[in-house]
Amino acid sequence: MANSIYPPYPPPLTAEQTEYLFTTLKDWTIAHGLAVRPAPGFVSKEQDPSGVLATTAPVTLFPSLFPRSCFDEALSIQELYNEFYSRVARDERWLEGIVNELIGVDDFIANLWRIHLEVKREGYVQDLSLGLFRSDYMVHINDEGSDKKLQIKQVEFNTIASSFGGLAWEVSTLHKYLLSVDAYPGGPKTVPMHGNLATSNSVPGLAAGLAVAHKTYEPSNEFNRLCVIFLVQDPERNVFDQRHLEYALLAQHGIRSFRLPWQRILQDTEMTAKRTLVYRPPHLPDLPCEVSTIYFRAGYSPDEYKSEQDWTARLHLERSRAIKCPTVLTQLAGCKKVQQVLATPGKPPRRFMCDGERLAKLMQTFMPMYPMDDGEAGQEGKRLALDPESANRYVLKPQREGGGNNVYRKKIPEFLKSIPESHWPAWILMEMIEPPALRNAILRNGEIQEGGVIGELGVYGACLWRSGTGEEGQGEILRNFEAGYLLRTKGDQSEEGGVAAGFGAVDSCCLVDL
């Protein structure tokens, strides 16, 4: 981590001010659904057998400082990233080359590709795809040259189950409320907050993306009702984050949605001869509903595919006429190997964006990444990863979503030596982003933890496109827009930033000019 570039922050509080802030915050969060189901280690199943309890989601007491220029840049390029990854997802031939490098070392990637090939042989019946994306960044201090330059650098690009849009919307509202009721004491030496707290429009933005897909879908007219399916894990601690999107979809667009647990796909859905997907709610089995759009908040982790039946269920959905968010190809476009190939030094990905100026804007956010294979770039990656001194500047990432799987810095050489070298190509090596030092306080499980923190900015985007009939990115984008932001903040001793994984907290931005 680099030295701090920020003014002193957060402001010091008296015991009475801390108590007022804490009380006001915890009541507001529960009243407004800024909450999660408690972790089993916090509240046991015996204490809550019906699963009715909720607790405040891990949240920062103060909005974290964030450079205004970096924030504006991240939001301004989201539409470019949406377009870029929609082109990657449409380029089957290029993706096939990536997948072929991984099939021998990653069964999960191999099985996803197998599903695509099975549906392709039968013939796809839906050429519309929806992406609710999130591009994650950190502020990086570039020490090269005489001036220290602030840059945003991409951590990863998420193409499936981009979570926390519901809570991000709430926490930006929370921090503005706390400011309005004098929970943040002002003074001549404190950072000015009025007019500098950035609102996140993630709930209306993501709901609008789902609504666009729903309204573009061409119904079969065989059924009287049309719905959106939220495909979810069960149990789901992060249920309130998802519920905010469900409620907005109904309140703002009049669109009904249902929650379908991953384990019940085959029990609760069926397909007509024309491959229209039909959902029969267990509580209303005589009122079937045609599914316009499937929003995946499950199905992103290998751990969810416990048997061949789970793969059969995924194939069942992919075969259907429902618009998928995402399709299998779009999910594959988000794997770390794709990110590595796009960000390998000296190999600009002009295949997906010919406009040099627009491509340069994206490439400015890339950190150097290397494969761990036998190619020229892979040999350089291995050299950097096995040398303890150079490895200290890198993170090793697998083709996995959901957090908790990365290997950091000095642990990399030992980890690589512990697995067969034939498995190394399933990993990619990325240069570490060096963010400026910052302080904040996090409320988690009723306890306040203060100290050094690191912020990770995620920008949401919605993109609906038609794939066309070609294999190299043919088709057209129908709608494309930025859809709000998420700030996740973690203690600077924690390498992982996933809130659901228990390491970080949801946050919002207090923008500063540096």
Return the CATH superfamily for domain 368-432: Glutathione synthase lid domain (3.30.1490.50)
* Tens-place pLDDT, residues 341-381: 888 877 778 888 878 899 999 999 999 999 999 999 999 99
Mean of pLDDT values over 465-477: 76
pLDDT tens column, 252-310: 999 999 999 999 999 999 999 999 999 999 999 999 999 999 999 999 999 999 999 99
User: In this predicted model, what pLDDT tens digit does every residue of 216-265 receive, in sequence order?
Assistant: 999 998 999 999 999 999 999 999 999 999 999 999 999 999 999 999 99
pLDDT at 324 over 60: yes
Tell me whether residue 166 is annotated as binding: no
What burial letters (b/e) apply to 365-376, b meaning 16+ CB within 10 Å? bbbbbbbbbeee
> Among the listed ranges 156-160, 334-338, 392-396, which one has the minimum average pLDDT value?
334-338
DSSP state of 21: H
Q: Binning pLDDT at 50, 70 and 90, where does residue 144 land? A: low
Domain segments of the chain as ranges: 15-367+433-512, 368-432
Please say if the pLDDT value at position 72 is more than 90. yes
Mean pLDDT of 22-41: 95
Q: Collapsing DSSP states into helix, strand and coil, what is residue 116?
A: helix
Whether 62 has a pLDDT exceeding 90, the answer reads yes
% pLDDT > 90, the chain: 79
Q: Has residue 473 got a pLDDT over 70? A: no
DSSP string over 167-230: HHHHHHHHHHHHHHTT-S---TTSPP-TTTBPPP-HHHHHHHHHHHHHHHS---SSSS-EEEEE
Q: For the residues 101-111, what does the mean pLDDT come to?
A: 92
Mean per-residue pLDDT of the chain: 92
Q: What's the whole-number mean pLDDT along residues 489-511?
A: 77
Active site residues: 134, 156, 158, 163, 336, 397, 401-402, 488
For residue 507, what are its two tokens? 């946050």
DSSP 158: E
Q: Is 224 annotated as a binding residue?
A: no
Query: Is 336 flagged in the annotation as binding?
Result: yes
Residue 39 is predicted with a pLDDT of: 87
| Higher-scoring residue by pLDDT: 480, 147 | 480
Report which of 133, 276, 320, 319 is spatially closest to residue 209, judged by C-alpha positions: 133
Cα separation of 482 and 135, whole Å?
11
What is the structure's pLDDT at 145? 52
CA distance 10 to 299: 39
**Cβ-contact 461, 165 below 8 angstroms:** no
Strand-strand pairing, 289-296 and 226-232: parallel
> What is the structure's pLDDT at 142?
80
Q: Is 385 annotated as a binding residue?
A: no
Stretch 488-501: mean pLDDT: 69
The residue whose two tokens read 């570490």 is: 432
Q: Which residues contact 473 (CB under 8 A, 6 or more apart)?
A: 87, 88, 90, 91, 351, 352
Side chain identity, residue 146:
S
| Number of neighbours of residue 71 by Cβ within 10 angstroms | 21
**SS3 label, residue 83:** helix
Task: Using the CB atoms, write b or e for 329-361: b if 16+ within 10 Å.
Answer: bbbbbbbbbbbbbbbbeeebbeebbeeeeebee
Query: Can you give the pTM of this predicted structure?
Result: 0.94
Residue 183 is labelled as binding a ligand: no
CA distances from 256 to 40, 129, 247, 381, 491 (A): 32, 20, 9, 49, 39
Q: Is the pLDDT at 133 greater than 90, yes or no?
A: yes
Predicted local confidence at residue 187, as pLDDT: 67
List Cα–Cα distances, 59 to 125, 164, 478, in angstroms.
43, 12, 36
How would you classify residue 334: left for phi > 0, otherwise alpha for psi between -120 and 50, otherwise beta?
A: alpha
The predicted pLDDT at position 356 comes to 85
